[in-house]
Every structure is written in C-alpha cells, then in structure tokens.
C-alpha cells in the first residue's frame, strides 16, 4: 500500500446531551377577578373570586394547583382545547397557580396577589366554661363569648336575629365579644364588617337549667337504698339529673368519689366503690360549681 492509499484517520463519535426546548401545551391564558378586572401575572386582585381561562390538548382534564396543591376540582378541556374555571373565595396572600393536565403537562406558573378586604365572620361561640357551642346546638349558659375575624383596623357589628347587640373593634384581623344575661330561646348571631357582607348565621338555643339532683341510689343487686338508710354493699350506683352533657363528680366530705357526664336526656349514673363502713354524705357537684342536695346512707358490716 502506497502512501497515497493510506486510510483516513478514524474518529471517535461522542454523543452530547441535548436540552429539550419544547414548551408545555398546557397554558394559563388569563385570570380575571370577580369584578371582571383582568389580573396580569404577578398582579393584584381585590376580589377573592378568580376566573381562570386556558388551553391544553383537547379531551382531557385540567387540575388547578396552588403551590403544587390542588386548588379546584378538575375541569374538562373541550374539543377545541380550551378550559375555564371559577376559583371562589381565595385567601389573601400570594398564590402561585399552575395547571396540570391528564397528559402530565404542567403550565408555567401564574402569580396572583389577593388583597381583598376581609369579610367578617364568627369563628366560634363558647359558654361560660369556655366550651365551644357548635352551630345549632343548645346550652344552659346565659353568658356567651364570641371570637371572630374581620378586616384589621375596622369595626364589625354583631347582630342577634338582625338586631345589633355590639359594635366591636378588629385588631390584627380578630375581634372578640361577651354577651351576658341572654334570654332562653333561639338566638341567631351574625356579624357584618367593612365589606358589608353579613356572615353565615351561628344559631345557639339557650334552654332552662335542669335542677342538679341525686334521684336515688342502687345497691349491688339493683335494690333501692333510700335516704338515711343503711346497706351492707360497698359499691353503689348513683342516679341523678343535670343539664344535658353537663360534667361533674360525686363527692363526700373526704374525697372526690367518681366523675360523671349526663346523657342527652339529662340523666347521669355513676358507680362508687370501696365504701368504708360508716355514715356517708354524698353530693353531686358540676364543673361550673352547682351543688345538689345531700344524700345520706350508712354502710354496715355484712
């Protein structure tokens, strides 16, 4: 082989990495607030209700995410490749919206700063012991405490069936109130703040108080043990009445013997055990300090 016939030098083929420049086909095209005002990416919304319109590959579902977490039920992308949704009552603050579709495409993020005035609301109502009264529930307490939220540095009006019962200052987004000496019956509390939007009603029914009593004592065999009577049993069951769901304890002069909670009918039963051979004077005492009349019995040797 002559010099002119030498084969060309061989080269090593090296494959370099390539970055995909393909853009997501899922897009957030526009955001409009509840007043019809367009909100640019990074813009501010003074209305909590947002309308979001976008496009994606057709015939699939689109899921709105806020910081990667679901913020709305999935909606359908129509045959033309369009979707739309209403995201109501968005909280104040920064929202980083994206949309993820069934084909695993994720849109570019769309930032919205929600700066809407805070509608006033009732967070909870509690009785004189600090126990929360659920909406629609009843209580024997005629003194109620309220906690709620509203627009900072404004005032809210607390109403009972439309009648103003208090005007309160909102400090750092919260307000509180106390009403005393309320009448028995149904109360429908609402609150209105600077936005003029009335809150959902919180209904509390105040019922008359049931007299706290020890009705009777039952022996180990279920026999009645009358007041001032004696028994050889060292375990007895106390049956009494109190307000519905009221808590308390049975006591004598020396000890707290047992705790009780009344049932929905205002009846409680409590078993006391290991009674010494002597005269016992017991009472029922509720957590809010109500005391029953005493019940006296003597435990004697069998």
Instruction: Give every residue of the chain whose pLDDT is below 70, as ranges.
Output: 1-22
- C-alpha closest to that of 217 among 283, 291, 287, 285: 283
Would you list the domain boundaries of the chain?
A: 27-114, 121-206, 213-299
Which class does domain 213-299 fall in?
A: mainly beta
Query: Which CATH fold would you assign to the domain 121-206?
Result: Immunoglobulin-like (2.60.40)
pLDDT at 22: 55
Q: What is the pLDDT of residues 247-285, one digit of tens each?
A: 999 999 878 999 999 998 889 999 999 999 999 999 999
CATH superfamily of 27-114: Immunoglobulins (2.60.40.10)
pLDDT at 254: 78
Asked whether the whole model's pTM tops 0.75, one would answer no
DSSP calls for 169-226: EEBTTEEEEEE-SPPSEEEEEEEE-TT-PBPPPEEEEE-PPPPPEEEEEE-TTS-EE-
- C-alpha closest to that of 240 among 264, 268, 261: 268
pLDDT at 8: 46
Cα 127 to Cα 32: distance, rounded to the nearest angstrom: 43
pLDDT at 2: 46
Cα 32 to Cα 254: distance, rounded to the nearest angstrom: 71
Task: Return the biggest CA–CA distance within the chain.
Answer: 135
N residues, the chain = 302
């Amino acid at each position: 082989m002559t010099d002119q016939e030498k084969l060309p030098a061989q080269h090593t083929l090296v494959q370099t990495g390539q970055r995909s420049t393909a853009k997501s086909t899922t897009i957030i095209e526009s955001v409009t607030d509840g007043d019809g005002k367009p909100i640019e990416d990074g813009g501010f919304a003074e209305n909590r209700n947002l309308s979001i319109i976008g496009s994606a590959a057709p015939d699939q579902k689109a899921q709105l995410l806020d910081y990667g977490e679901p913020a709305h039920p999935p909606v359908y992308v129509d045959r033309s490749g369009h979707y739309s949704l209403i995201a109501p009552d968005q909280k104040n603050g920064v929202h980083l919206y994206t949309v993820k579709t069934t084909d695993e495409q994720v849109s570019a993020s769309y930032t919205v700063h929600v700066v809407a005035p805070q509608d006033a609301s009732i967070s909870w109502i509690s009785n004189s012991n600090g126990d929360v009264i659920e909406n629609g529930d009843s209580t024997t307490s005629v003194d109620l405490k309220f906690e709620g939220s509203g627009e900072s540095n404004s005032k809210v009006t607390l109403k009972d069936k439309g009648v103003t019962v208090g005007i309160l200052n909102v400090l750092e987004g919260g307000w509180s109130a106390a009403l005393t000496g309320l009448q028995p019956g149904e109360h429908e509390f609402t609150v209105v703040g600077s936005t003029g939007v009335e809150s959902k009603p919180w209904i509390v029914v105040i019922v008359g108080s049931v007299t706290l009593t020890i009705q009777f004592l039952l022996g180990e065999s279920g026999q009645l043990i009358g007041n001032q009577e004696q028994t050889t049993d060292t375990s007895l069951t106390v049956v009494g009445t109190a307000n519905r769901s009221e808590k308390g304890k049975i006591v004598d002069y020396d000890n707290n013997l047992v705790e009780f909670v009344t049932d929905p009918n205002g009846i409680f039963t409590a078993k006391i055990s290991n009674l010494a051979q002597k005269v016992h004077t017991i009472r029922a005492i509720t957590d809010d300090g109500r005391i029953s009349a005493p019940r006296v019995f003597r435990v004697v040797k069998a």
